[in-house]
């Protein structure tokens, strides 16, 4: 790359460099690597074009990490896991329009309260579904995903009950099947109700 003229000292000595940048936050520090323009004559540092945006994003990500918040990518992954839309999340969390969109874009971090709530949803599909319905969100793809998650949970619960019954000596397949189905239903729905209480 050919050097460019420096706006500070006028020398033709400005080149793009990848260098560390230290981010400070509440007594903690993190080092990010970013691209920027550096003048080898006077040492002046500047960011231009896409470098500005990349720098801001990297700083925001480092700050989120130091604050113990989910990253923008993690937010997108949680939303996608349930096939929810950005507007659905905004409705579910009672935030203003475009709030989730901004969080997911990366430059604006979510609050700690929202972060805690999102983590709870991420770990609990039944809570996510209840919240979706309570917020009046209509999303057929998400409903189908929740139904699939529930089927999977029941299948796992059933398999566990079956294995346990066999171990206890219930060898009648039909009887084992009936009990396992009932117990699995209870396990999945009992769990949902316990969370509702
Ligand atoms: Zn210079």
* CATH for 95: 1.10.260
Q: Do 55 and 95 fall within a single domain? A: no
Mean pLDDT of the chain: 89
pLDDT level of residue 191 (50, 70, 90 thresholds)? low
Q: Are residues 23 and 56 in the same domain?
A: yes
Q: How far apart are the CA of 58 and the centre of ligand 1, in A?
A: 25
In the prediction, which pLDDT does 11 show? 95
Query: What pLDDT sits at residue 196?
Result: 47
Inform me whether the pLDDT recorded for 193 exceeds 70: no
In the chain, the number of structural domains is: 3
CA 142 / ligand 1 centre spacing (Å): 55
φ, ψ for residue 79, nearest 5 deg: -60, -45
The CA 48 to ligand 1 mean position distance, Å, reads 15
What is the domain range of residue 168?
140-196
Domain boundary among 12, 46, 66: 66
The kind and range of the H/E element at 43 are none
> Which pTM value belongs to this model?
0.74
Residues near 96 by beta carbon (within 8 Å), at least 6 away in sequence: 90
Contacts of 134-140 spanning 24+ positions with Cβ under 8 A = 135/88, 135/91, 135/92, 135/94, 136/91, 137/84, 137/88, 137/91, 137/92, 139/83, 139/84, 139/85, 139/88
Calculate how far, in angstroms, residue 153's C-alpha sits from the geometric centre of ligand 1.
63
CA of 49 to the centre of ligand 1 (A): 19
- How far is the centre of ligand 1, averaged over its atoms, from the C-alpha of 4 (Å)? 10
Q: Which of 134, 158, 175 is the last residue of a domain?
A: 134
Tell me, yes or no, whether 80 and 59 share the same domain: no
One domain for residues 37 and 89: no
pLDDT in tens, 14-37: 999 998 999 998 889 999 999 999
Domain with 44 in it: what CATH number? 3.10.20
Q: Helix or strand or coil: residue 98?
A: coil
Task: Examine the pLDDT at 114 and tell me if it is beyond 70.
Answer: yes
Quick one: average pLDDT of 39-65? 92
Answer whether 65's CB lies under 8 Å from 74's CB. no
Do 56 and 79 lie in one domain? The reply is no
Separation of CA 146 and ligand 1 centre (Å): 59
Of 36, 66, 96, which residue constitutes the final position of a domain?
66
For residue 118, how far is its CA from the centre of ligand 1 (angstroms)? 47
How do residues 68-81 score in pLDDT, each as one tens digit? 999 999 999 999 99
Q: Are residues 144 and 105 in the same domain?
A: no
The reply to whether 111 and 161 lie within a common domain is: no
Query: How far does residue 190's CA lie from ligand 1's centre (Å)?
Result: 69
pLDDT top residue among 162 and 91: 91
Residues 53 and 24 both lie in one domain: yes
């Amino acid at each position: 790359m050919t050097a460019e003229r420096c706006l500070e000292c006028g020398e033709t000595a400005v080149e793009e460099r990848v260098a560390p940048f230290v981010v400070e936050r509440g007594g903690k520090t993190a080092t990010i690597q970013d691209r920027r323009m550096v003048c080898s004559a006077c040492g002046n540092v500047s960011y231009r074009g896409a470098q500005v945006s990349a720098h801001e994003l990297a700083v925001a990500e480092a700050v989120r990490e130091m604050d113990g918040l989910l990253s923008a990518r993690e937010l997108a992954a949680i939303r996608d896991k349930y096939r929810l839309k950005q507007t659905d999340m905004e409705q579910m969390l009672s935030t203003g329009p475009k709030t989730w969109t901004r969080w997911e874009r990366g430059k604006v971090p979510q609050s700690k309260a929202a972060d805690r709530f999102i983590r709870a949803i991420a770990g609990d599909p039944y809570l996510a579904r209840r919240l979706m319905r309570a917020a009046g969100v209509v999303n057929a793809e998400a409903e189908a995903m929740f139904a699939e998650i529930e089927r999977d949970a029941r299948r796992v619960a059933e398999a566990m009950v079956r294995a346990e019954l066999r171990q206890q000596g219930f060898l009648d397949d039909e009887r084992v099947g009936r009990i396992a189905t009932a117990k699995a239903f209870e396990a999945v729905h009992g769990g949902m109700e316990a969370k509702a209480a």
